[in-house]
Structure 1
Amino acid sequence: MSNSTFPRKWTTEFTKTLLSAPNFIVFSYLDFLDSVFCVIYKYLDVFFEGKASPCYCTTTKISENGSNGKMGGNEEIGMSETLHGRKKKLKELIVLIQFVEKLLNKKKGVEGDYRFRNQKKAAVHRLGNRWSDCGCDSCISWMKTDDPKLHVVVKEASSQEDSKGNPNPSENVIFIHGILSSSSFWTKTLFPQLSESKKSNGYNMFAFDLLGCGKSPKPRDNLYTLNDHVEWIEKSVISRFQLNSFHLVAHSMGCIIALALAAKHSKSVKSVTLVAPPYFPSKDGVEFTVINSLTPKKLWPPEAFLSSVMTWYEHLGRCVCLLMCRNHTTWERLIKRLTGVRDLNFMFLDLTKHTHHSGWHTTHNVLYRGVKQMDRNLEILMKSKKKVHVFMGTRDRSVPPDCGDKMKKKFPDVEVNNIPNAGHRSVIFRREKDFAHDLLQIWENAAADHHDLHEV
């Protein structure tokens, strides 16, 4: 090693250590604070509801029958390892939490763990929202129906006729948004652009709020696994509107759900378009790779720090939702009054229209665990000769920009489009017209390939 190399390497390591010190101090304090709020919320839940809500603070993993042990039933149900595997630096706090649980168990009935019910046998959802959740008409309207479904926005195809006066059959397109978003992600941006093109007249377009988001149901007894999201889409969109064939378009976390849905309905899907998919090759421990890659414990920038708090700290995240989501109507009125703006940006509104329970479980059970199934689902689509198109922004700060290239490397038939200078959302926003043109071309080509395949 040269004389100049050693000081440079030593300086680099020293700088990393120096910068990691504030991180360690702050997040160690947050570990302590989260454990304190664990105790506080247990007492508040007992006071307001008569029983404490279960949490994942202890390292014990609960199987489907409620017994302790390895993942077992959790793995089959679709629960992420990150729920119990987020290690706290101050492990002695676990003893305090367990002591409080025993104390509460002696006083009143406590839901000490998650008892998983078979939702196919008992499709009964626990009505009534948590005391810490919003109770406005928009957030609880789904409770007023006996058969709740996802909130769906439909843009029907315009009637068209061929040269002989016979009606042309229309095609269907399902749009799936990402985390903490809603159907507005598509209806406020892409739908107007598609409506301007005559080529889109032959397409029925379906955009919906995912389970736990926007105006869709937010059941308390649901674990918001990947399978749960797929089943609700089948119930609320595919079966409800009798879709025998369809195209899929998805953004960010929605891409994981889209691939699962496409693989399950590989005979019906015509094309799959993935925008900014969080792709990580499936292997042991990939869930922790994803959580450390997408939402690492960082103090800067502010949005990264907030994401890390919401991801790593169950009870501090609930505090944020208690402040922002439970009072979202108050915040909306306040901002309108201060700014004079009548219609607030839909992205701001979408951030607050979920419950902590739905957002927390969807993040872990879909975003972090769902990546384990992406390779298997892609293999099914490749064997079925389905077209998969990927659009990635080269300046995406939420998802590694090379995710598309990694997918292409493992699945050569996947078509990847890297959009220069585009970010996680601006890969669509600010270029809606171009993206609408690309989609129409993809759908036309898929229809032609489908026609040729049937002729053969």
Structure 2
Amino acid sequence: MSTMDKAKSIFIMTGRILNEAISFIVFSVLDILDFLLCYTYKVIDFIVEAEWKPCYCSSAVTSSGTILVSEQGESKIVCLSTSSSRNKLQLEEISDTLYTRPSLVSEVSKSTVNELKRLKLENATVKKGTRMSTFTVNSTIVEMLQGKIGGQQYHPIPRWSDCDCKTCNSWSSSCKDTLFVHVDGAKENVQENVIFIHGFISSSAFWTETLFPNFTKATKSKYRLFAVDLLGFGRSPKPNDSLYTLREHLDMIEKSVLEPYTVKSFHIVAHSLGCILALALAVKHPGLVKSLTLLAPPYFPTPKGEQATQYMMRRIAPRRVWPPIAFGASIACWYEHVSRTICLLICKNHRLWDFLTKFLTRNRIKTYLVEGFCCHTHNAAWHTLHNIICGTAGKIEGYLDMVKNRLKCEVMVFHGRDDELIPVECSYNVQSRIPRARVKVVENKDHITIVVGRQQVFARELEEIWRNNSTT
């Protein structure tokens, strides 16, 4: 090994050690801060709304009634239903990462609580001589679902910590319970349909401001293009009582696009988190999908012996301060109250940030990325991140196998070489499950610039994919 190589390896090792050391300190502080913010928000919520917003810091509590859960200390929910079959809600899609996120503070508090429970139990056992088994479930889920199904709670729209602008709340004044859908392209003699699904904390503008203006007239005369704002994002509904599960997201896409526009077949283009929804949609409608284009799909095969949800959370949110995008993902995923504070500062005041961006750049750049990043509620982002990205980790392999065996459509995967959030290995992992899938790695592009900045080239690539899979 040359002197240069030795120096490089030492530099890399030193950087890694520094990153881990600084990360440990920073995230230990954030653990404590999140703990303190929990009680701060309870007080503020109670003062402003006369009740405090349930959070996942709450320990499991004894529950009864219509909520069915497992016994002997397990907190996994099976299902919840009322007398009306219309209100039946399956809860296997609730990710345990919502209420199980190991950290320094959580481990200390858990040990303390367990010790207190043990002492209390010993005293109770001595007095009664017997121990009764109980049904337990995370108290936050109980409170949210009681409000959702029983209609026992009312929350103002928007809540005090959410944005109150017309863009974010246009859905609340409409009688339609559907997603915001931007429709472009063919209006008559429609031959093909394309559904675009954006990623986490984004919006339909990710597609409409980049790709849509760059499609040729020939494409727009033949293809009908649908770009949706996912539930909880952009101009779509942001219900406070939603848990933003996979089922809810898929149902809303079907109700907003497939049913009203009588879509009989379609191509799918999806980015990041949207790839999970795209796979689930394709598996649900295997005979309708004509091509499947995935950009930066978050697929990490779960090692043997690991819990899929927890492993996925550690991969996408590694509790590291570097790279910055991983630091941001870690805060969003691990800290319910710190992330709520960030939403309060950024999302609630997105009009100010939009103005400042335009002012500082003298209106030379479009701010659709800023708007997409800001137009959501914390409740929507928090539950979507955990219930879609983490909660479906154990299902992705099954989806990929069904795409391989049941679907005959072309599968194309694009990935930026410099993507620091979702590594390139994820796309090759997809290819390992679907051998016919083609992977294209784009040099010098990351998680966002895989589209932004190369929209003309990507538009041509999509048009070629659609032409090759056309029925006419």
Give TM class, smaller chain. 0.7 to 0.9
Alignment of structure 1 residues 303-452 onto 2, 5 Å: 303-341=325-363, 344-384=366-406, 385-448=408-471
Alignment of structure 1 residues 168-207 onto 2, 5 Å: 169-194=190-215, 196-207=216-227
What is residue 291 of structure 1 aligned with on the other side? 313
What is residue 3 of structure 1 aligned with on the other side? none
Query: In the comparison of the two structures, how many residue pairs are matched?
Result: 420
- Aligned-pair CA distance for 1:362: 0.7
Paired amino acid for 2:236:
S
- Determine helix, strand or coil for the equivalent of 1:326: coil
What is residue 234 of structure 2 aligned with on the other side? 214
Paired amino acid for 2:369:
M
Mapped pair 1:153 → 2:182: yes
- Aligned-pair CA distance for 1:347: 0.6
- Determine helix, strand or coil for the equivalent of 2:293: strand
Does the C-alpha gap of structure 1 residues 357 and 119 become closer, same or farther in structure 2, counting only changes over 3 Å? closer
Q: Equivalents in 2 of 1:141, 1:323: separation in Å?
A: 21
Residues 206-248 of structure 1: per-residue CA shift (max 9 Å, x gap):
0011111111110000011111111110111111211111111
What is residue 82 of structure 1 aligned with on the other side? 97
Residues 376-416 of structure 1: per-residue CA shift (max 9 Å, x gap):
22222222223221112222112111111111122212222
- Determine helix, strand or coil for the equivalent of 1:249: strand
Q: Equivalents in 2 of 1:273, 1:300: separation in Å?
A: 30
Q: Equivalents in 1 of 2:109, 2:214: separation in Å?
A: 54
Does the C-alpha gap of structure 1 residues 387 and 61 become closer, same or farther in structure 2, counting only changes over 3 Å? farther
Q: Equivalents in 2 of 1:325, 1:424: separation in Å?
A: 21
Does the C-alpha gap of structure 1 residues 29 and 66 become closer, same or farther in structure 2, counting only changes over 3 Å? farther
What is residue 65 of structure 1 aligned with on the other side? 67
Mapped pair 1:114 → 2:114: no
Paired amino acid for 1:386:
C
Unaligned runs of 5+ in 2: 1-7, 80-89, 115-137
Q: Equivalents in 2 of 1:9, 1:193: separation in Å?
A: 44
Q: Is the 8 A contact 1:256 1:371 kept in 2?
A: no
Residues 330-351 of structure 1: per-residue CA shift (max 9 Å, x gap):
3323443444327642111111
Does the C-alpha gap of structure 1 residues 202 and 13 become closer, same or farther in structure 2, counting only changes over 3 Å? closer
Q: Equivalents in 1 of 2:30, 2:67: separation in Å?
A: 33
Q: Equivalents in 2 of 1:18, 1:438: separation in Å?
A: 42
Q: Equivalents in 1 of 2:364, 2:241: separation in Å?
A: 36
What is residue 137 of structure 1 aligned with on the other side? 166
Q: Equivalents in 2 of 1:177, 1:232: separation in Å?
A: 14
Paired amino acid for 2:257:
V
When the two chains are superposed, the root-mean-square deviation of aligned CA atoms in Å is 3.2
Paired amino acid for 2:77:
G
TM-score by length of 2: 0.81
What is residue 133 of structure 2 aligned with on the other side? none
Q: Equivalents in 2 of 1:429, 1:13: separation in Å?
A: 33
Q: Is the 8 A contact 2:20 2:320 kept in 1?
A: no
Alignment of structure 1 residues 213-292 onto 2, 5 Å: 213-281=233-301, 284-292=306-314
TM-score by length of 1: 0.83
Q: Is the 8 A contact 1:252 1:275 kept in 2?
A: yes
Does the C-alpha gap of structure 1 residues 219 and 175 become closer, same or farther in structure 2, counting only changes over 3 Å? same
- Determine helix, strand or coil for the equivalent of 1:296: coil
What is residue 48 of structure 1 aligned with on the other side? 48
Q: Equivalents in 1 of 2:318, 2:68: separation in Å?
A: 31
Residues 412-435 of structure 1: per-residue CA shift (max 9 Å, x gap):
122222223322222222322222
Q: Equivalents in 2 of 1:20, 1:83: separation in Å?
A: 25
Q: Is the 8 A contact 2:403 2:434 kept in 1?
A: no
